[in-house]
Amino acid sequence: MPLGLLGKKLGHTRVYDAAGNVIAVTVVLAGPNRVLQVKTQAGKDGYNSVQLGFDDQKEQRLTKALLGHIKKQNGVAVKRIKEFRDFSKEVKAGDVVGPTLFAPGDFVDAIGTTKGRGFEGVVKRHRFAGGDSTHGAKGWHRRAGAIGQRLFPGTVMRGMRMPGHMGQVTRTTQNLEVIQVREADNLILIKGSIPGAEGDYVVIRESKKRPKGWKPPVVVTKKKAGVADKKPAAPAAKK
């Protein structure tokens, strides 16, 4: 996780690019992120990482253990703390980082908690087709059907898709493009959708599959062996 930030999903909007095309974006408040601690491989921790804190908090609302850890690093109370390993930017405890870690055109991964949907049936939770609506079908329109066997093994198999709690799980959306970075407002405008509801905390990290400097692969067509290039014949001279 070379670069990363803690942020808050604010909502959605659309912006125009240089060519006048409309781009749907998600607005993320990605700062200020305060550096609470820097761990090094040469130190007692044995690995390189950076702890970032986001969204200031009253000290009285933190546990004494967490507040003592923050005070030891001369930091301020925050609501969210996230540790990023192998942080590629040189920082020290007390520094403040923000959306300028990324630039327009970079690709990022967004990690968040999806919206909670409560208890849902198989049609909404697993996209089952349901039963017939006609031909005498009564009471089986949105049911799952049989879930077990007959004599052998006579039990419900593990992992059977059934009704239950839906949503409120951690999900990662990969390869999202950064459209705009507004340093004055600590905002990042990201193309596409991000898991979670408006107001939820999210983690914006450098894309694992498309890191900084990534370019689309160039497709090279190979020529068949023994086949000469055919050039168009020159037009005949007019008499």
What does the mean pLDDT of the chain come to? 90
pLDDT confidence band for 26 (50 / 70 / 90): very high
Arithmetic mean of pLDDT, 67-80:
90
pLDDT at 62 over 80: yes
- State residue 232's pLDDT score: 64
User: pLDDT digits over 197-232, tens only?
Assistant: 999 999 999 999 988 888 888 888 777 666 666 666
Q: Which helix (H) or strand (E) holds 80?
A: strand 78-85
Res 225: pLDDT? 66
pTM of this prediction exceeds 0.95: no
Residue 164, pLDDT > 90, answer: yes
The predicted pLDDT at position 231 comes to 63
Confidence at 138, pLDDT banded by 50, 70, 90: confident
How far CA 10 is from CA of 28, 113, 140, 173, 214, in Å, comes to: 6, 14, 41, 17, 28
The dihedrals phi and psi of 61, each to the nearest 5 degrees, come to -95, 0
| d(C-alpha 80, C-alpha 159), whole Å | 34
Provide the residue ranges of all domains of the chain, joining segments of one domain with +: 117-167
Please tell me the total number of residues recorded for the chain in this structure.
239
pLDDT at 25 over 60: yes
Pair 26, 9: CB distance under 8 Å: yes
Q: What is the pLDDT of residue 214?
A: 86
Q: What is the three-class DSSP state of 66?
A: helix
- For residues 160 and 52, give the distance between their C-alpha atoms in angstroms, rounded to a whole number: 40
Q: pLDDT band at 49, cuts 50/70/90?
A: very high
